[in-house]
Structure formats: C-alpha cells, structure tokens
Amino acid sequence: MFYLFNFYVLAALTVISAIFVITRRNPVHSVIFLIITLLSLALLYVQLQAEFLAAVQIILYIGGIMVLFLFVIMLVNLDVVARQAPFNRQWHIAGLAALVLLGELVAALYWGRGTPTLPLAPPTALQPNTELIGVTLFQNYLLPFEIASVLLLVAMVGAVLMAKRR
Amino acid sequence: MTNPFDILAPYLPDVLEPFILPLLQIGVVFLGLSLIVAYIVYAERKILAHIQVRLGPMRVGPHGLLQPIADGLKLLLKEDIIPRGADSFIFWLAPVISVMAAFTGFALIPFADNFIVTDVNVGLLFVIGISSLGIYGIILGGWSSNSHYPLLGALRSAAQLVSYEVALGFAIVSALLLSGTLSMSGIVKAQITHGVWFVFVQPVAFFILFVAAIAETNRNPFDLPEAESELVAGFHTEYSGFRFSLYFLGEYAAMILVSSIAVTLFLGGWTRPFQSVGWLDFLKYAPVALFAFCTYWCVAHERKMPRAPEWRWQRLMLLGLGGGAAVLALVFVAVPPVVDAVQGVFWFLVKVCAFLYGFIWFRGTFPRYRFDQLMRLGWHYMIPVAIANTIFCGVGLVLWRSLGWSFAGSLWIGTLLTLLVALLLSGQTEAPEPTVTRRGS
Amino acid sequence: MVPTTHYLMLSAALFTIGVVGVLTRRNVLIILMSIELILNAVNLNLIAFSRQLSDVTGQIFAIFVITVAAAEAAVGLGILIALFRTRETVNADEIDLLKG
C-alpha cells in the first residue's frame, strides 16, 4: 500500500516536471525541472530495488551531465533567445504525431494484458544489488564494459576538440 | 548494547513503528548540527585570532561565547535585498539547495555503533551523490544574481568542485576496496575487523581525500571563488541577511560532512584509539577528563575577570558553565554505563573536531592558490596520484589475499609504489606563462 | 507491490513528452534535454523489467545507456558551442545553410 502511494506521488512529480522541462522559456528553468525529474526517477529506481542505479543516476546524470548543461547555458549568451518564440512552426503536427505514439504505446500495453506473465519476483530476489552488478559486469559483460570506456575516451577527445578555439 | 530508543517502542502504534527511531535520530542530528555549526563559526574566529596574535570576540558573553547568537540575530534582522533583474525563484532556491545538500548527507553517517539514521547498502555512493548536489547551490546562486562577479565566481567554483570531485572519488574508492562494502557502518566495522584504521595502511588516499575535501568546500587555500580580495565575495556577493547566513551555514555543514566522511572512512569512525590494547582502557574516561578541564578553565578565568559590578553577569555565566561541566564529569564517574554509552559519539566528535581544527589552521596559515595553479594541481597531480593509488591498493590487496602476506605489509608496498609515482610526477615543470591571446583568432 | 504495467505506462508517458520536446522546441539545448528525457524513459523501462524477471541484465544495460547518454551529451554540447561561435544562434530553425 505504501509502495503504491509512493509510486503515484513520484510518477506525478516526474510527469509534471517533464512537462515543465519542455514548456519553459528560460533554459535554466528547464534544467532545474529536468533535475527534479531525474531525482524522482532515481527514487523510483530505489523502489525497484536498484539502489546502485539510483546512486549512479544521481552522481553521473544529475551531478555530471546537468552541470555540463548549466555550464553551456551560462557560456552561451541566451538573452536574445529568451525573447524569441519557444515553439517552432510545426508544433501542431508534432503534437498529433506524439499523441499517435502515446496511443500506440498504451494500446500495446492494453492488448497485452491477458497474456500470462512471469510471476513478480519476491522483494529479496535481487539482493545484494551492487555485488551482483559488479560480478555480472565483469564476468558476462566485460567486452561491452571495455568498449564503453573507449567510447567515453572518444567522446572526451571529441568534445574537447570541438569546443576548442581554433 | 541496547538501543535507548527501544524503551519507547512498546508505547506507540504499530504503523508509526518504522518512523519513530529515524525521526528521533534526525531530530537529534539536526539540532546538534545547527548548534555545532554556529559554534564552529565562533571557534574559527577565536582560533584565527590566536594564530594572528590577537584575541577575537571577547565582549558578547564571557570570552565571546554568546557571539554566534548575536551574529544569528543580526543576520536574521538585516534587510533582504534582491538585485534588479535577478530571477527571484532561482535566487531564493540556490542557498536552499546548498544547505539541503549539506544537511541531507548527515543521514548516512554512523555516529556510534547504533546511531545511524539510515544504513543504506550503498551509503557511500549516496553521500558522494548528495555532496555533488551542492554544486548547484553555487552555480545557480551565481547565475541568478544577474551580475558579473558572482557569475565568474560561480563558474570558477563549479569548475574547481567538479575537478576535485574526481580525485575525491578515487580516494574513496581506495577505502572501499579495503573494506569490501559500500555501507558506511560496514566500513567502520571492517576497520574493527582488520584491527587497524585505514589511515595507517593507505596514507596517500587519506591525504588526497583531505586535500580534495578542502577544495570541495571552497576553503583556504582553495577559496579563490569566494575570496574577499579577489572577486568581491564571489558567488554570494549579492546575498545579504538570512540568505547569506544559509550559504554560510551550508558551507560549514559541508565542512563537517566531509570531515565526518574522512573520519568514517579512514580514522575508524566511532572507535577509540588503540581499542584492542587492553591496558589503555583507562582512555575510556577521556570525557571525564575533558569536562574536568572545562571546569578548571571556567573557574580559573572567572578568577581573572575584574570584580566590577558590570562584569557580574559574565562571571555568573562562566561559573554556570563550569558548574554544568562539573556535574557532567561527576555523572560520568558515578554512573558507569553512561560513560560506555557515550564513548562512540565522543570519539567520533573528537576526531571530527581535530579535522575542523585542521581546516581552520590551514585557513590561518596558507596563501591562496591562483585559479590556474589550482586546476593544474587537481588535474596534473591529484588525479594521477589518486589513480595510481587505486591501482596499487588493488595490487596490495592481491598480495594479501592470494599470497597470504600481512594486511598492513602488502598495502604498504602499494603505498610505496604510489609514492614513487608521485615523486616521478613532481618532476614536471611549471606550465609556461600564458601569452596574450590575439584578437579574432 | 506495484505491478510492472504502472512503470511501463510512466515510461511511455515520459517517452512521449520527450518526443514532443524534440519535435516542437526551437532551442537546441531544450532539444538535447528532451533527448535525455527519452533515454531516462528507456532506463525506467529496463529497470522495471529487470525487477520483474529478477535478472540483473536490465540494470547493466541501463548503466550502459547512462554512459552513452553522458558521451552523447558531451559531444552534442561541444557541437552546440562550435555552432554558436560561428552562427551566433542556438535556434534550430536558423541553422539551415543546406536548405535548398
């Protein structure tokens, strides 16, 4: 009962902040609402017994990527931009397309509702979370892990090169 | 050791059961923290004053002991100025984020064996995450002030914080490797199991943690972003009154938080020094000695005060303080279980206070790093040494586990290899002075 | 406990909001933020299924998604800065040099 109440509160917070992200004129406000969205998602991950993912989301996403966004917003002078129209000319068609997409996703969930599902695992089935992730990551998924580190190196070099003043 | 809060448990309804103990602990931690932060400000002024051969606050209360109350009242009653053109929502939000991030981290620190608000499995990661949320308080505060100096100070401070967070993370990983668990109380228990505080087997990691902690809290010698002589006052230039006191509170609470993390990870948390040595058990009466010294100091200084009638209240306050300390000392001596119950928190606070004294001492002693020197130190020295330390800590652990060498010995081999790397790195020459950039390039 | 369908609905809603943001806004920064919203919706989906099937693969995939999102945000913002330096705008409608 407590979990359901918690879920509804966090889900409402997530959706409302996400809507604010895409509708605010000032980019700094959008960043703040995106941070709130990411925080409520991290709390949902804790409820899903993925506390390592929640901590990783807070440290990397909120503490790293969003700080990067804020830096770029402050380096780019956005006073002129704040006075222009926020939405582009095709927003009617885009809204319609998004509604169609939402309808498809909801329909897929609705039509699949009678199929036999695997029983929900008991709450203690994934303990302890961090050790399990560590062991699986380094045994079964070692190659993607190494490739991800090369990817990060490439991204780092690319970003530095692109932002450098010639 | 029974939990004193368990006594209340049978009298409360069942649905509230899981909330009562954490709420009580939160209340104690929050109130205690607010008091400690207020008196850290006073302690800093007195200690800096004595380093600079002067006396510090002496007027408000005996030896200035009531100064924090006067400061708090002054800041509360000051006019609240919001700069024109400032984004008022973010202007209001920024100090709140700073204070919230600092205070929330205390929910995960083990103060004693049974006194931790929540013992999360990944407590260490959450503490790192929450202290990285404090960066937003600085960036948003600087940006929302709609003025050049705060924005520059905020960007510089954020760049510094992000750089030293990497080194902090690596130093924490070394302690994590040694203990094998991310839970904060688990790390202290691992130090009890190994019988040695991790500072004695990983001194390089401890040093990097300490330096990165000073940089993370914007303290001297890394306090360029908020230095008075450099950028007016950096990111909190436009803040006055209660908002400024929130920033101030947040900075000192962050200082106590990183000290607590360092104590938990490397200095054995709530354990007494030499806990396993039997004949040093008399050290458990250290609280008695402390309060007895307090009493002696209060009485001695009361003797030194003038006998004039306008000094009467100050003399009475000092005698009252001395009397209270004497009562506490007597209670500790007369009722033995109290001394045992208070051991954990007492030693934890002693170690945290040692760290805070270190912070204040550095402020009074070191000159400030220039910003490019600061960034160079972070990226060219701290991060490579921290990475090398993590690698060689792993090597030491392999030597201990697979070859069966002694724990301290194999880790010291790792430490020596790290020191070798640090020595090699220190041979780098200083970067050439920046030339004037040409326009239009 | 909360049925998995609830999490999937939330993930679908977040995904749609992200898609609306990408298709509708002119400011490239907001478009990049909407892409982050889409990636987070996918993460929520992965972790919900990981809990349903009690298989940790979902969470590992989510870690990789976060990694790729970080790399993509860094490179995207680098491109944005380079673009801003030459064109003096962050408006997606004004970056139309290749338009016929």
Average pLDDT rounded to a whole number, residues A30-39:
95
User: What tokens were used for A136?
Assistant: 């699986």
Spatial contact of B236 and B226, defined as CB atoms under 8 Å apart? yes
Contact A98 C19 (CB under 8 A): yes
Q: Is A110 inside any structural domain?
A: no
CB B158 within 8 A of CB A67: yes
**pLDDT tens digit at each of 441 positions of chain B:** 345 556 655 665 666 667 777 788 888 888 888 888 889 999 999 999 999 999 988 888 888 888 888 988 888 888 888 888 778 888 889 999 999 999 999 989 998 888 888 888 888 999 999 988 989 998 998 888 877 778 888 888 889 999 999 999 999 998 899 988 889 999 999 999 888 899 998 999 999 999 999 999 988 888 877 765 555 667 777 787 888 888 888 999 999 999 999 999 999 888 888 877 777 777 888 888 888 888 888 888 888 888 888 888 888 888 888 888 888 888 888 887 888 888 888 999 999 999 999 999 999 999 888 888 889 999 999 999 999 999 999 999 988 888 888 888 888 888 888 888 888 888 776 666 666 665 654
Distance (Å, rounded) from C-alpha B374 to C-alpha B370? 6
A69/A139 same-domain check: no
What residues of chain C lie within 8 A of the CB of A152, using their CB?
A: 67, 70-71
Q: How far is A63 from chain B (nearest CA, A)?
A: 5
- How many structural domains is chain A composed of? 2
Q: How far apart are CA B127 and CA B183, in angstroms?
A: 10
Q: Report the gap between the CA of C8 and the closest CA in chain A (Å).
A: 8
Which of A67, A128, A166 lies closest to B135 in CB terms? A67
End-of-domain residue from the set A61, A79, A97: A79
Give the one of B133, B143, B158 whose C-beta lies nearest to A62's C-beta.
Answer: B133
**Which residue out of B97, B132, B155 would a mutagenesis test of the A interface target, given it has the greatest number of A Cβ atoms within 10 Å?**
B132
∠ Cα B293 B298 B304 (to 5°) = 125
Min Cα separation C98/chain A (Å): 19
Contact A50 C47 (CB under 8 A): yes
> Is position A8 within any domain?
yes
Based on the fold, state whether residues A135 and A73 are members of the same structural domain.
Answer: no
Question: Which of A152-156, B232-236, B316-320, C54-58 is the least confident region?
Answer: B232-236
Q: Which of A73, A109, A165 sits opposite C29 (nearest CB)?
A: A73
| Residue A136 domain flag | yes
More confident residue, B7 or A112: A112
C-chain residue closest to A100, CA distance:
C16
Candidates B126, B165, B441; nearest CB to A55? B126
Determine whether the interchain pair A55/B125 forms a contact, defined as Cβ–Cβ distance below 8 Å: yes
Count of C-beta atoms within a 10 Å radius of residue B289: 13
Whether A74 and A7 map to the same domain: the answer is yes
What CATH number should be reported for the domain holding residue A55?
1.20.120.1200
Q: Is C40 on the interface with A (CB under 8 A)?
A: yes
Chain A residues touching residue C13 (CB < 8 angstroms): 15, 18, 102
Do the two chains C and B touch, given a threshold of 8 Å on CB pairs and at least 3 pairs? no
Scan for tokens 């943690």, then name that residue.
Answer: B209
CB contact under 8 A, A63 and B151: no
Structural domain harbouring A158: 128-166
C25 in contact with chain A, both atoms CB, cutoff 8 A: yes
In chain C, what is the straight-line distance between the N-terminal and C-terminal CA atoms, in Å? 56
Separation of alpha carbons A13 and B242, rounded Å: 29
Does residue A5 sit in the same domain as residue A62?
yes
Per-residue pLDDT tens digits for A9-20: 999 999 999 999
- Pairs across A and C, CB distance < 8 A: 230
Name the 3-class secondary structure at C56: coil
Q: Which residue has the higher pLDDT, B12 or C80?
A: C80
Q: Within a domain: residue A45?
A: yes
How large is the average pLDDT for residues C51-59? Answer: 87
Residue B89: list chain A partners with CB under 8 A. 29
How close is the nearest chain A Cα to the Cα of B2, in Å? 27
**pLDDT above 70 for A1:** yes
Nearest to C64 among A18, A47, A148 (CB): A148
Asked whether residue A87 is domain-assigned, the answer is: no
Minimum CA–CA partner of A141 in chain C: C60
Indicate if ipTM > 0.85.
yes
Q: Which of A79, A110, A141 is the last residue of a domain?
A: A79
In a domain, A111, yes or no: no
Closest CA relative to residue C49, chosen from C62, C33, C36:
C62
Q: Find the closest chain B residue to A49 by CA distance.
A: B121
User: What whole-number distance in Å separates Cα of residue B181 and Cα of residue A60?
Assistant: 20
- A161 within some domain: yes
In C25-52, which positions are buried (b, 16+ CB within 10 angstroms) versus exposed (e)? bbbbbbbbbbbbbbbbbbbbbbbbbbbb
Structure tokens at B437: 């950039």
Nearest-Cα distance to chain A for B153, in Å, is 13
Interface probe with C: pick from A4, A17, A25, A53, most Cβ of C within 10 Å = A53
First to last CA, chain A: 60
Query: For A51-101, how does the pLDDT look when each residue is reduced to its tens digit (9 = 90+)?
Result: 899 999 999 999 999 999 998 888 886 666 666 677 777 788 888 888 888
Cis preceding-peptide flag for A128 (omega within 30 of 0): yes
Q: Is the peptide bond before B221 cis (omega within 30 degrees of 0)?
A: yes
Which of A39, A59, A66 to probe the B interface (max B CBs under 10 A)? A59
Task: Let me know if residue A98 belongs to a domain.
Answer: no
B87 with A26: Cβ contact below 8 A: yes
Q: Give the number of other CB atoms < 10 A from CB of residue B312.
A: 11
What chain C holds in terms of domains, given with CATH numbers, is 4-92 (1.10.287.3510)
Token digits of residue B198? 């991790």
Q: What is the model's pLDDT at position B1?
A: 38
The tens digit of pLDDT for each residue in A46-62 reads: 988 888 999 999 999 99
Domain boundary among A44, A79, A114: A79
Q: Which residue has the tokens 């609306």?
A: C20
Chain A contact residues (CB < 8 Å to B): 26, 28-29, 32, 35, 51-52, 54-56, 58-59, 62-64, 67, 70-71, 74, 128-130, 165-166
Among partner residues B143, B158, B441, which is closest to A28 by beta-carbon distance? B143
Closest chain A C-alpha to B367 CA, distance in angstroms: 29
Q: Do the Cβ atoms of C24 and A22 come within 8 Å?
A: yes
How far apart, in Å, are the Cα atoms of B384 and each of B166, B377, B378, B389? 10, 10, 9, 8
If you count them, how many residues does chain A have? 166
Closest CA to A72 of B177, C28, B282: C28
Is the minimum CB–CB distance between C57 and chain A shorter than 8 Å? Answer: yes
- Answer left, alpha or beta for residue B61, where phi above 0 means left and psi between -120 and 50 means alpha: left
Q: What are chain C's partners, defined as 3 or more CB pairs within 8 angstroms? A: A
Check A71 against B158: CB less than 8 A apart.
yes
Do A13 and A75 have their domain in common? yes
